[in-house]
Amino acid sequence: MSKNRLLEALKTKFNDKSDIEISQAAVKIENRERLSSQEFQKVYEKIWQAGPTIKYQNPDINIKELQSINNSQNP
């Protein structure tokens, strides 16, 4: 199922005829052939999307709380 979604994304969203490497990679994926590391990196860069960023007000507070809980449980 994920192979079909990948192929669909490569063929529809990135249908640039100038980008021959992506189209060759799509053909290789369709034929169940291995991609070279450069081909894989190019496909990865094309389909990767940044997710939401999470900002913590004080990320160290959780570590301090866990340490204090562990210390209080171990006499």
pTM of the model: 0.53
Q: For 10-52, how does the pLDDT look when each residue is reduced to its tens digit (9 = 90+)?
A: 776 666 565 788 888 888 888 989 999 998 998 888 888 888 8
What pLDDT sits at residue 4? Answer: 82
- Going from N- to C-terminal start, the domains of the chain cover 1-49
- CB contact burial 40-62 (16+ within 10 A = b; e otherwise): eebbeebeeeeeeeeeeeeeeee
